[in-house]
Structure 1
Amino acid sequence: MTLTSEQTSRTLETASGTIHFYEAGDPASPAVVLLHGSGPGATGWSNFKTNIEVLAEHFHVIAPDMPGWGRSQAVTREESDHARAAVDLLDALGIEQAAFIGNSMGGITTLRVATEFPERVSHIITMGPGSGPQPKIVSPGGGLSEGMRTLVAAYRDPSVESMTRLTEVMTYDSARFATPELAAERAENANAHPEHLANYLDGFAKGGPIAKWFRLEDLPKVQIPALLIHGRDDRVVHFENTLLLLAHLPNSRAVLLNRCGHWAQVEHADEFNRLVIDFVSAN
């Protein structure tokens, strides 16, 4: 990897406030927006550092820290609107339309942008989003999934030990991908912004940190090409959520990856990058 986080780091004032993001690639190329998940210490770089450089050979890549995460401004549950923030970032960058690629919470935002601002979205790509608010993201026995329980525990105790458990539950091959370096990076990111931790836990107590979801009944109206990727071994959001989305999105196809947890873009980075390049380039 030749690109670094600091080389690609940018900050802009937008109509939704201060947004920090990572940018790479030719601004004249088609734009892709990479949206991270909701875990403590998540940033555009931490979720997509294995993808940004490869995708930037083909696209203008934008990977924001969403409001309430990373170096972007803090927001409460009531103030948070990630779909609006994503569109405001496009406006600030002078980008009319982009492919939206979202992991977990980022996938939920991607589907909201597609239903509320469809003219701004050229392609939909999701990895492991839920199909609706709690309690739809649950384990078969009821209650939060194993991954969500571990995630919330890491918000309450953002230590390296907690981040180790979190990265282990996010991945299938934890011996390879849940490294001590990644756990330390996530702990450092999380502890650098205690306001984000407090706001997440406050939002969780009020019914979940994501106040605004897409509606399943709106998805059949969406004609944007959609690629839905999910890990067969996802312990955070069960892959059946993606099968439900597939049934509602008329112009969609799904890729189910064996030996893959919640981070398809990390565990199967080469295949993920090829899928994205081919899908965005061909549709």
Structure 2
Amino acid sequence: MTSAPPALTAENTSRFLRTKRFRIHYHEAGTGHPIVLLHGSGPGATAWSNFRPNIEALSAGFRVLALDMPGWGESDTQTAETGRDHVATLIEFLDETGVDRAALVGNSMGGMTSITTAIQHPDRVSHLVTMGAPSPGPNLFSAGNGPSEGLKALVQAYKEPTPENMRRLVAIMCFDPAMATEELAALRSKSATAHPEHLRSFLEGMTVPPDRSPMAAFFGLGAQLGSITAPTMAIHGRDDRVVHFENSLRLTTAVPDSRLVLLNRCGHWAQIEHAAEFNRLVAAFVDAH
């Protein structure tokens, strides 16, 4: 009788590699067409905390690679000397792992990296999937005065990564309060306090002049969205309090081969709050294209 394979854990999927600028930590599982999972920002964010309900499910049919970006998790931090170019880091990572073309699946900040890569390196992107991601260009209906409620909580948690601030941040990320568990808040808090250099790096990055800011460069790409050739799926929570769903509506209006999946009763973390549906959507999308 053949024994069942062991369940995937953070430990048995953990890997490290070195690029030109960073030592990168990542998780790997499965075989098949590569799917690269790119996490969002926030203190304590990691590939595992962002995608733990998805890695095993997707690895049943694909080679899944989920990396901690520099400045997060167990990867090196990013500085003014190394630069804060996540697209360059992703391309270096793909080169080191022998991946020519991959389906990019990005949550929030990871979605920004995925969109930019699809514009600047179309030959490396087979599919583009975003969840709760900002989109270049102006908001017409959801424009407000300053950062969203979620972004304010995120910055406050970077400045003061207390358990209380972490619980508040996790609660804002989810629609269903039951999803904002003590376990998830503790996981984020532990990761954040383990790497104070990552917290300092993020706050320093907020002071970068606009002409050298990756954020400013990203939001200037609005006119190039129509050049994206990869089949694109934007997944967004109707109740996202961090990034309004109008961003995904604008993305799919501009990208020729695209579709929008809008989930009601869902916040910023569709891949966690609606994990089973998210996993089915992504697997079917990559299979069908």
Q: TM-score normalised to the size of structure 1?
A: 0.94
Q: Note the alpha carbon deviations across 1:61-115, whole angstroms, 9 max, x for none.
A: 0000001111111112671111111111110011111000000000000001101
Q: Distance in 2 between matches of 1:238 and 1:99?
A: 24
CA distance 1:245–1:46, shift in 2 (3 Å): same
Q: How far off its partner does 1:132 sit? A: 3.1
Q: Distance in 1 between matches of 2:80 and 2:110?
A: 16
Are residue 12 (structure 1) and residue 17 (structure 2) matched? yes
Counterparts of residues 49-88 of structure 1 (less than 5 Å): 49-76=52-79, 79-88=83-92
SS in 1 for 2:230: coil
Structure 2 unmatched ranges of 5 or more: 1-5
CA distance 1:71–1:19, shift in 2 (3 Å): same
Q: How far off its partner does 1:138 sit? A: 11
Q: TM-score normalised to the size of structure 2?
A: 0.92
SS in 1 for 2:240: coil
**1:91 is matched with which residue: 90, 95, 110?**
95
Aligned to 1:132: 136
Aligned to 1:31: 34
Q: How far off its partner does 1:217 sit? A: 1.1
Q: How far off its partner does 1:211 sit? A: 6.0
Q: Distance in 2 between matches of 1:183 and 1:212?
A: 32
SS in 2 for 1:95: coil
Q: Distance in 1 between matches of 2:123 and 2:140?
A: 29
Q: Residue type of the partner of 2:231?
A: P
SS in 2 for 1:70: coil
Structure 1 unmatched ranges of 5 or more: none
Are residue 162 (structure 1) and residue 165 (structure 2) matched? yes
CA distance 1:149–1:272, shift in 2 (3 Å): same
SS in 1 for 2:11: helix
Aligned residues: 279
Q: Distance in 2 between matches of 1:247 and 1:124?
A: 15
Q: Residue type of the partner of 1:99?
A: A
Q: Distance in 2 between matches of 1:15 and 1:166?
A: 34
Contact preservation (8 Å) 1:137, 1:145: no
Q: Distance in 1 between matches of 2:226 and 2:157?
A: 36
Are residue 243 (structure 1) and residue 245 (structure 2) matched? no
Q: Percent identity?
A: 53
**1:188 is matched with which residue: 186, 190, 208?**
190
Contact preservation (8 Å) 1:50, 1:269: yes
Q: Distance in 1 between matches of 2:224 and 2:142?
A: 25
Aligned to 1:122: 126
SS in 2 for 1:6: coil
Q: How far off its partner does 1:212 sit? A: 4.2
Aligned to 1:273: 279
Aligned to 2:112: 108
Aligned to 1:173: 176
Contact preservation (8 Å) 1:37, 1:47: yes
Q: How far off its partner does 1:16 sit? A: 3.4
Q: How far off its partner does 1:158 sit? A: 0.8
Aligned to 1:43: 46
Q: How far off its partner does 1:213 sit? A: 1.5
Tell me whether 56-65 or 201-210 shows the greater mean CA deviation: 201-210
Aligned to 1:223: 229
**1:198 is matched with which residue: 197, 200, 212?**
200
Q: Distance in 1 between matches of 2:88 and 2:75?
A: 14
Q: Note the alpha carbon deviations across 1:212-259, whole angstroms, 9 max, x for none.
A: 426111111111100000000000000001111111111100000000
Q: How far off its partner does 1:180 sit? A: 0.6
